Amino acid sequence: MVDMQIIFLGTSAAIPTWERGLSSIAIRRGNELLLFDTGEGMQRNYVRAGLRMNNKTKIFITHMHSDHCVGVLGLLQTMSLQGRQTAIDIYGHPRLAEFLQENIRIINFRLEFDVNIHVIYEEGIVVREKEYEVSCCEAHHSIPAYSYYIRELERPGIFNIDEAKRLGIPPGPLYNKLQHGEDITYNGNIIKSYQIAGPPQPGRKIGISGDTRPTDKLIDFFKDCDLLIFESTYEDEKYTKAIESFHSTATDAAIVAKKSHVKKLILTHFSARYKKVSNMIKEASAIYNNVEAAEDLKIVTIPYRSIYE
């Protein structure tokens, strides 16, 4: 089993405030770090959060607005100055590659590790690892943008080692086959996987909207998330402005969460005009009953799902 935590490194919209930095979300899964957006100056909260500089790291950029991508330059330089040697993978729009290459050339800072840039040309699976995958979906914003989710793959069912011993099955490859759903023949007897191992255990799913208006496509994309992190730039009174600027209100976010049947909604990306976001929580809670507001350096632990849910 692998621990998973969400750490908010920046929760403001286009303008930073005294309390909130620009957009950045870290998902710490075991010893790996997945960063979603890197707003300007986010490396300060990266350091304050105690995140290690040499972790295996992937960075996913939702779109090429400065409050979501400019901070990647400072982060890379900070990592290099702190002695990072592990390669880093960065995923995003085709303009991201140009942005990184040109700025590194112009600023002329030296990196002591490789930066692998992965250009995303279409929706679908962006990363597939042994235990999880990251997928993207087209968002509805003023420029090309993606929303993402990370979804863990199913884990093998709980193995009943006492029953395996009772049947005389020796440890080793036969245990592995049974735990992964494969029936075996041992001493002339057919032993069914379900006799020894429980059903596969579901993984966790975390959705991250980036900047977007709600769409039916996103509702389907975020279906059954354990946690949905959705931008909530405005209160309802600014609904017209939200439409004009291709952003969402807290009510918009709650509607997506309800229709997507997610377990929990966290609002983020608040306009700097709001000193407090309690009214946004109130507006969203009128539609969806499990809502929180993100704050810089807030940590949320994501438990495993139950197979009975």
DSSP string of 10-66, one letter each residue: E-BSSS--SS--BSEEEEEETTEEEEE---TTHHHHHHHTT--TTSEEEEE--BS-H
Nearest to 281 by CA among 259, 307, 249: 249
**Can you give the residue range of the structural domain that contains 191?**
161-196
Tell me the C-alpha distance between 121 and 134, whole Å. Answer: 15
Domain identity same for 21 and 139: yes
Number of domains in the chain: 2
Q: Could you give the CA distance from residue 306 to residue 309 in angstroms, rounded to a whole number?
A: 5
pTM of the shown model: 0.89
Q: What was the pLDDT predicted at 179?
A: 77
- Token code pair at residue 85: 């040697």
On whether both 42 and 149 belong to a single domain, the answer is yes
Instruction: List, by residue number, the catalytic residues.
Output: 67
Residues 109 and 252 placed together within one structural domain of the fold: yes
Q: What is the pLDDT of residue 171?
A: 87
Contact 198, 308 (CB under 8 A): no
Alpha helices in the chain (DSSP H): 42-48, 66-69, 71-81, 94-107, 161-166, 173-179, 193-196, 216-221, 239-244, 250-260, 278-285
Residues 40 and 171 in one domain: no
**pLDDT for res 308:** 45
β-bridge partners, 88: 57, 115
Last residue of a domain, one of 196, 220, 250: 196
pLDDT by 10-residue block (mean), the chain, 309 residues: 94 96 97 97 96 95 97 95 95 94 88 94 96 98 98 84 84 81 82 80 95 98 98 98 98 98 98 97 97 98 74
Instruction: Indicate whether 306 belongs to any domain.
Output: no
Q: Would 309 be classed as within a structural domain?
A: no
CATH code for the domain of 296: 3.60.15.10
Q: What residues does 6 pair with on adjacent strands?
A: 27, 300
Q: Could you give the CA distance from residue 241 to residue 84 in angstroms, rounded to a whole number? A: 43
